[in-house]
Amino acid sequence: MKPVQVVGIGHPVINLGIAIDRLPETNLPARRLGMTWQVGGKIATAMSCIARLGFSSAIAGRAASDVIQYVRRDLAVDGVNTDYLLEQSSADAYFTVCLAERATGNRSFLSAPQPVQDLRTDELPRKLIENAEFLYLWNSTEADFAAARLCKAAGRQLVFDADTFSPEIESLLPLTDHFIASEYYYEALFGKSENYEVNLKEIWKRQGGGKVVIVTLGSRGLAGVDESGLFFTQKTFAVNVKDSTGAGDVFHGAYTAGRLAGMDTRAAARFGCAVSAIKCTQLGCRTGLPTMGNALAFMDGKPLNEAELNERARLWARLPF
């Protein structure tokens, strides 16, 4: 069996996605325009994106015993390896409601604290991490630090999804080859400053140079610094947005897939923006994930294969029970 190319560490989340016309006022109804049930979360979504684009991925984390078989079946739709998901019998399901508001294009979330325990260092799939081409992290637990050290000792590359700022994540910078921050992370460091070149080069230097730093800026695209220390930007692709839930996670996954496909930093960033845009044409974090052929055709200006995506929408519009 060939080694898994990308390993992501994190827990899957069951998402109920609901499209509404607009958020209702207190005691007033809102019209439901669509619904989707599927497994998501940062790692599950990114690993699904990578697998959908033709590369092998695995998720290592924990899921409650009453939903773990459903989680495995759902992620198998996209070919994600779930052999390294551990079962926790004492936990509730990790569940989130995602509201996509068509009138504004915004989304809101109803969630609860993480019900499952983080992986311990001794539970890490060491050989899997050491043999993968990329390790994909988003958190800064003791096990994440240990996984990062395993990855680097084996000469592999580390992608980090820095969604929210913490000093612990900052301390992982020197181990990270591809540091992709959200605008919230960026603003925690630099406020509303739009001097992206100066500020990202500051992160790049703290990272040790010779690596990649990117900040995603939502509808404004992204800014980044490549391995040579050169600044670049990338605009988004215009699409009819139905739901942006998981767009950042999909960008991270597609960027990683682009690197696996041999793309350089700028090409992979552009590819990530295209795949993320396609995702936004469907309700749900994974429904709109394209195949590699569909994504490349879209980038060439050809029409989307909507039949391919609509079939996925029908799959996840059904209740899983």
Which CATH number covers residue 225? Answer: 3.40.1190.20
Domain-located, residue 1? no
CA distances from 44 to 60, 71, 227, 250, 252 (A): 9, 10, 28, 10, 12
Domain that holds residue 286: 6-317
Residue 231 lies in a domain: yes
Return the pLDDT at 91.
Answer: 86
Spatial distance between the Cα atoms of 139 and 161, rounded to a whole number of angstroms: 8
Number of domains the chain is built from: 1
Closest to 286 measured CA to CA, from 10, 37, 45, 33? 45
pLDDT of residue 104: 84
CA distance 34 to 23: 14
Is residue 312 situated within a structural domain?
yes
Q: Where are the alpha helices (DSSP H) in the chain?
A: 42-52, 68-76, 126-131, 142-153, 167-171, 183-190, 196-207, 247-260, 265-279, 292-299, 306-317
pLDDT for 78 equals 98
Q: What is the pLDDT of residue 315?
A: 94
Residues of the chain with pLDDT under 70: 1
Confidence (pTM): 0.96
Q: Is the dihedral of CA 280, 283, 286, 287 positive or negative?
A: negative
Q: What are the angstrom distances between the C-alpha of 275 and each of 50, 69, 155?
A: 11, 28, 28
